[in-house]
A = this chain, B = another copy of it.
Amino acid sequence: MKLLEDRIRKDGVVKEGDVLKVDSFLNHQIDIGLYEEIGKEFRKLFPDEDITKILTIEASGIGIACITARYFNVPVVFAKKTATVNIDGEVYSTRIDSFTHKRTYDVIVSKRFINEGDNILIIDDFLANGCAVSGLIEMVQSAGAKVAGVGIVIEKGQQSGGRLLRERGIHVESLAIIESMDAGTGEIIFREQQ
């Protein structure tokens, strides 16, 4: 998605340790006009009319999922990183190692919100080692529901998450895939996509 790649080149900041900061427009401050273009693009990439729900994970996936859901006309469910007193005992849970946060989370979704017969589009802002998405897929499958696909805003192509998911036959669409980036020069090279 050229608009997104241009924006990453303009406002993204490459840091040591394979970190790309996009917090001025994507995941701390949010450009809603860009989110709308992202939502429209996901709709084009997943034209399947049978998607019943969008599943994401807190926190930065939520806004993208909500704006995207407008174009699919379906509810959003977001997985929560800690149990709260507002969640019943009846949950699907999984454990996720976060690359960004350098820690392990327990993640839960109420069993009431993923059901057999659901055809679920998973949306997230980043795909790196694929732990978060794999955890979400595991919860969808535990519910006997189907994964329609995985829509990612920025995939770190240098890490193995995207490749491993595609090898499992999951339909993964990433709006920008980083082939390489250089913290010294700030240069970012994107993978060519049709």
> A62-B62, A66-B67 given as contacts; is B21 within 8 A of A86 (CB)?
yes
Counting chain B CB atoms within 10 Å of each CB, the highest count among A29, A109, A110 belongs to A29
- CB pair A28 B80 closer than 8 Å: yes
> A28-B113, A59-B59 given as contacts; is B76 within 8 A of A101 (CB)?
no
- CB pair A78 B28 closer than 8 Å: yes
Question: What does the 1/0 interface line of A162-186 toward B look like (CB < 8 Å)?
Answer: 0000000000000000000000000
How many copies of this chain are found per oligomer?
A: 2
Q: Report the nearest B residue to A112, measured CB to CB.
A: B24
> A32-B76, A66-B67 given as contacts; is B86 within 8 A of A24 (CB)?
no
- CB pair A82 B101 closer than 8 Å: yes
Interface size class of A (residues with CB under 8 A): 35 or more
- CB pair B32 A75 closer than 8 Å: yes
State in angstroms the CA–CA spacing of A59 and B69 once bound together: 17
- CB pair B101 A17 closer than 8 Å: no
- CB of A36 to closest CB in B, whole Å: 8
Leading 6 A-B pairs by shortest Cβ distance? A58-B59, A63-B66, A30-B76, A62-B62, A29-B113, A59-B59
